[in-house]
Amino acid sequence: MQYGWTAPSIPILESADSPVPITSKDGVWLESLYMLGGIAGLPFSIYLVDAIGRKKTVLISSVVGLCGWILIGAGTSVNHLFMGRFLLGMTADIAFNASPMYISEIAHQKIRGFLAGIIYLMMLFGIVVMYSIGPLVSIQTAAIVGGSILLSQFIIFPFMPESPYYLLYVNKEDSAKRALERLRVDDDVTKELMEIKKAVERQKTEKGRPLDLFLIKSNRRACVIVMLLNNTQHFVGITVLIMNLHEILNHAGSDLISSSAAGIIFSSLMLIAASAATFTVDRIGRKILLLVSGLLTSISLFTIAVYFHMQSMFLDLKSFSWIPMISVMFYALTFKLGLGIVPIVTTAELFPARVKGWGLAVSDLVYVVSSSLSIYVYQWLNDGFGIHVSFYLFGIYCLISTVLISIYVPETKGKTLEEIQMILKR
């Protein structure tokens, strides 16, 4: 809901009867401060997941996010909105580090991909909710809905067990056993507990310094993979499309449906595709979904680019104005089928316990920086060379990334976290 908030809310705030009048420049800052808040949350993510545990870190992110929604809902000036967006960016960063880590460590390998994918699935559901209610309700009501979800999490989540990996990492074996017994159907968890303990003890022999992400070969390989996946997500245009969907479709001259309806359909299709990927990622595998998604997404991007290129040549395309609309919707399906869901699953699996906090922080930094940079590159190319150039760039980047994924990204389906470390160590 935080991620999709700007699309329906900024037009309301810029309108004549705005509850908090803003300028177009303020609207850009409302988008940017969310990303800057994410960067500011990185050191907290790194420290908290190992200092107080994965579970408590998630709870802290709920409190920070609740404060952000209160500032947005009750704010009377644009500075209150700025502060709220910054805090929401911080809570998103903390949650997107701690939550994948927590889920990857509590889940059995047979369903780990499914459970990790649900994080991204819920993010898409939040976008659908915000796109659907945002144009119809007040800024205050939307903030109440967002805040109430975080409040419910803060009330319910304390009853969940802590990660057994973390408990063994801090030498609480009895607590780890009790947590694992709650998380598994089997009565006897001794074998799995010993396997986790052995993995944690081995990983403890490796140093946990930030530099070890790059000095140790397996960690370095994991870093390269997560950088590739997270960078690809944004340089195939997802942030640009989510934040500028209405503008892009209006530029295409498509009049099949209204822009607000297009936003709801676009986000709903992403949710459907991500749901399909989440339910099949442990059966089909991570890598095949990435490759199929990469190839199909590049087709949709090149189709959009060619249309806008022909439009820039002043050709009469009125009878073909449906093409960009259909291509954008096809993009929503193909991107979320793999590129939009698998990276968050894979990223949580690749790093050993000793440096997992640092690894996920690097991943998140690449995610935030790539997101911000992709928006800047899109605006720069759009203003200087035409909108078609940016979509050509996204399409080419998508194809190159798909080739690199086929070469460098290992298949982790059905592997324990320790087996994945052995694959990375070759």
Question: Max alpha carbon distance in the chain (Å)?
Answer: 72
Euclidean distance between CA atoms 167 and 200, whole angstroms: 10
Which pair of tokens denotes residue 76? 């009377």
The answer to whether the CB of 179 falls within 8 A of the CB of 210 is no
pLDDT in tens, 372-391: 888 888 888 988 898 899 99
> Does pLDDT of 46 surpass 90?
no
pLDDT in tens, 253-299: 766 777 678 878 888 898 899 888 888 888 888 899 999 999 999 99
pLDDT in tens, 327-377: 999 999 999 889 988 887 787 788 887 777 788 778 878 888 888 888 888
For the chain, give every domain's residue range.
1-160, 168-204, 210-426
Euclidean distance between CA atoms 1 and 22, whole angstroms: 21
Tell me, what's the pLDDT at 110? 81
* pLDDT, averaged across the chain: 87
Tell me, what's the pLDDT at 243? 73
250 or 264: which carries more pLDDT confidence? 264
Q: Rg of the chain over CA atoms, in angstroms?
A: 22
Which pair of tokens denotes residue 154? 């803060």
Whole-model pTM: value is 0.76
The answer to whether the CB of 328 falls within 8 A of the CB of 391 is no
Mean predicted confidence (pLDDT) in 72-89: 95
Tell me, what's the pLDDT at 229? 92
Fold match, 1-160 / 210-426: yes
pLDDT in tens, 180-205: 999 988 778 888 899 888 888 877 77
pLDDT band at 208 (very low <50, low <70, confident <90, very high): low
Tell me, what's the pLDDT at 369? 86
Which pair of tokens denotes residue 138? 């007040």
> Does pLDDT of 318 surpass 90?
no
CATH number of the 1-160 domain: 1.20.1250.20
Mean predicted confidence (pLDDT) in 159-179: 92
> Does pLDDT of 72 surpass 90?
yes
pLDDT band at 207 (very low <50, low <70, confident <90, very high): low
Euclidean distance between CA atoms 93 and 38, whole angstroms: 5
pLDDT in tens, 118-163: 887 888 889 889 888 888 899 999 999 999 999 999 999 999 999 9
Tell me, what's the pLDDT at 254? 67
Of these ranges, 34-48, 144-158, 411-425, the one predicted with the greatest mean pLDDT is 144-158
pLDDT band at 80 (very low <50, low <70, confident <90, very high): very high
Tell me, what's the pLDDT at 390? 93
Tell me, which fold does domain 210-426 have in CATH? Growth Hormone; Chain: A; (1.20.1250)
Q: Could you give the percent of the chain with pLDDT greater than 70?
A: 97
Tell me, what's the pLDDT at 206? 64
Euclidean distance between CA atoms 346 and 342, whole angstroms: 6
